[in-house]
Structure 1
């Protein structure tokens, strides 16, 4: 079924204004045209979108659903216009990248900064998601490119190695655990943890393995980022499971890194897509830059 953009805008404006007159004014069309458009749309759909009364109009159940979708479509159109406007201003290409929490926090910032300095006519959007959700988005053609942990199932996608991303246990040097060099998840599962927020994909990954052992981790506090987590551990409050790269960057004399022996802690990050040969040249150039970049 064909939907006219003006009809979508009109219905959203009518719903917001609470009257056809107000909606017509916001859409910059006449009241007669607005009434005819709404009647025509309702006829095509076979349902009433608005309930008319002496007090004005309100949305029917079908109308509420219609407005929800109309808002999403109009917002997407606005994003498309913004992206295309950049091309008219000299942009050569735009890259949308999905990545897991560890890639977003530890491996991408320096690489993307270096890439953008080298490529002033390119732009990049990065969105953090759990690895499994990234795989689903790419398979369902909602996204084209992602960085995920190889611990999730990404069969059916093409991939290239990005970097090693081992998870370790960070403890204070006064902790009872400092006698160990490596440790199992079962040994520490009843400890007091410092974690990231509940909706953080990395924390969800760790919590899911605790649930597989019939446990729920005891969090003394949840912090917004890895730097904050490491600082609290460094103050002697609890322990944390974090990427080794982050702990090495923190490099505090009052904290110690313990090797976590679980298989799921030995992770590699990979760049994945449906078909690398179908990506634009500038996207493959970006991928090669991320993989081959060396820290100064």
Structure 2
């Protein structure tokens, strides 16, 4: 049969009204047009679908079967339309978001939760990357958007500050410097350090700052993760420099103290980064708006430092 959705709606309107005239009006068709379409439907079916009476119509057995399946088809069509609209409005699908470690472990969980509650059919895939890796992925078109440090250069991309995330000096609780309100980087260059692994973007930044101050860090051991670094500091092996969010996350378990650093290069911020707002998917725009991105306003210029 070559029925379309309009044919099914007309047939159901006539069946439910018990009248071709009333059914045509409900389907917003002229009586002559509706009668002709019903005749074509019956011809296509090869059997009568309506019993015509002086005061209306009733369904034949074949007509009742058509009405039953027509209802199912129209219900499925409505369900399909609703699901497609959910994708279009960002309420369904899978969203891929790239984020550095600090954003992924402390910032995003609190911010994502209330947004996801309103979108029960939307999935989010979080990808942990360094800030430099995120910028490279964005430039290559491999990522739609990311949350990264403002300390990494991101020429050609848009960045919007979403949170403060300064670097702090992490110390064992009993360390002689633990009671200080704030310290300059040069004040601690003589300490033994727990550092991050070679090639880590944050560690490269710290090493560069030490070199510019005319010193080299006294590194006792290098760790691949912030977890390992914080654990080593807690055991009194040395001191470390980490984002404030990381220090807060581990301070109770590791018995460490975080002291703010005064230097301008340590005053990092987390930024949402992407190429073009209009090129973002609907759910990504929704999420970034929830995080505080306001694309209609001139984006805040962020300072760049050597590597995050």
- TM-score, L = length of structure 2: 0.56
Matching residue of 1:102: 102
* Structure exhibiting the larger radius of gyration computed from Cα positions: 2
- TM-score, L = length of structure 1: 0.58
Alpha carbons 1:101, 1:202 under 8 Å: kept: no
Distance 1:212 1:119 in 2: 49
Matching residue of 2:139: 139
Q: Describe the shift of the 1:203–1:285 C-alpha distance in structure 2 as closer, same or farther (beyond 3 A).
A: same
Distance 2:272 2:158 in 1: 8
Distance 1:132 1:228 in 2: 22
Query: How much has 1:128 moved relative to structure 2?
Result: 2.9
Structure 2 portions without partners, runs of 5+? 1-86, 294-308
CA displacement 1:51-89 (0-9 Å, x = unmatched): xxxxxxxxxxxxxxxxxxxxxxxxxxxxxxxxxxxx9xx
Distance 1:224 1:196 in 2: 6
CA displacement 1:86-115 (0-9 Å, x = unmatched): x9xxx9322222222321232223444554
Alpha carbons 2:116, 2:122 under 8 Å: kept: yes
Matching residue of 2:188: 188
RMSD, aligned CA: 2.9
Whether 2:160 is the aligned partner of 1:151: answer: no
Distance 1:143 1:174 in 2: 44
Distance 1:184 1:128 in 2: 30
Q: Secondary structure at the match of 2:177?
A: helix
Distance 2:166 2:212 in 1: 20
Matching residue of 1:256: 257
Structure 1 portions without partners, runs of 5+? 1-86
Alpha carbons 2:171, 2:234 under 8 Å: kept: yes
Q: Describe the shift of the 1:195–1:106 C-alpha distance in structure 2 as closer, same or farther (beyond 3 A).
A: farther
Matching residue of 1:169: 169
Distance 1:148 1:220 in 2: 28
Aligned residues: 203
Query: How much has 1:221 moved relative to structure 2?
Result: 3.1
Distance 2:211 2:128 in 1: 23
CA displacement 1:12-60 (0-9 Å, x = unmatched): xxxxxxxxxxxxxxxxxxxxxxxxxxxxxxxxxxxxxxxxxxxxxxxxx
Q: Describe the shift of the 1:115–1:200 C-alpha distance in structure 2 as closer, same or farther (beyond 3 A).
A: farther
Distance 1:129 1:212 in 2: 27
Alpha carbons 2:102, 2:245 under 8 Å: kept: no
Matching residue of 1:280: 281
Distance 2:187 2:179 in 1: 13
Query: How much has 1:222 moved relative to structure 2?
Result: 3.4
Q: Describe the shift of the 1:178–1:106 C-alpha distance in structure 2 as closer, same or farther (beyond 3 A).
A: same
Query: How much has 1:266 moved relative to structure 2?
Result: 0.2
Query: How much has 1:168 moved relative to structure 2?
Result: 0.5
Matching residue of 1:266: 267
Query: How much has 1:239 moved relative to structure 2?
Result: 0.8
Distance 2:200 2:101 in 1: 7
